[in-house]
Amino acid sequence: MRACARGLCERKDQGRRIVSVLIGRDPEHRLIENLLNDARNGASAALVIRGEAGIGKTAVLEQVGRESGMTTLRTTGVESEHDLPFAGLEQLFRPVHNLVEHLPHPQAAALRSAFGLSSNRVEDRLLVGLATLSLLAEAADDAPLLCLVDDLQWLDGPSAQALLFAARRLGAEGVVMLFAVRDDPADWLETPGVPQLTLAPLAESAARKVLTTRRGAALSQAAQQQLLQEAMGNPLALLELPVPDAANAPATGIEAAFRARVLRLPDETRRARSTSRLRRSSRRSSPAGRSGHSRKLTSSSRIFRPRATPTSSSSGPFSGS
- N residues, the chain: 321
Q: Taking a C-beta distance cutoff of 8 angstroms, is the pair 112, 39 a contact? A: no
The listed range with the strongest mean pLDDT (122-126, 146-150, 218-222, 309-313) is 146-150
Q: Taking a C-beta distance cutoff of 8 angstroms, is the pair 65, 146 a contact? A: yes
SS3 141: coil
Strands 175-182 and 9-14 come out as unpaired
Q: Is this prediction's pTM over 0.85?
A: no
Q: What digits encode the pLDDT tens for the residues 263-308?
A: 566 544 533 443 343 233 323 333 333 333 333 323 344 444 443 3
pLDDT at 206 over 50: yes
- The pLDDT, as a whole number, for residue 318 is 39
Domains of the chain: 4-200+300-304 (3.40.50.300), 204-278 (no CATH)
Q: What digits encode the pLDDT tens for the residues 42-77?
A: 999 999 999 999 999 999 999 999 989 999 999 999
H or E segment to which residue 176 belongs: strand 175-182
Largest Cα separation within the chain, whole Å, is 67
Interatomic CA distance for residues 81 and 85, integer angstroms:
8
Strands 145-150 and 175-182 come out as parallel
Q: What digits encode the pLDDT tens for the residues 118-166?
A: 888 888 889 999 999 999 999 999 999 999 999 999 999 999 999 999 9
- The pLDDT, as a whole number, for residue 3 is 52
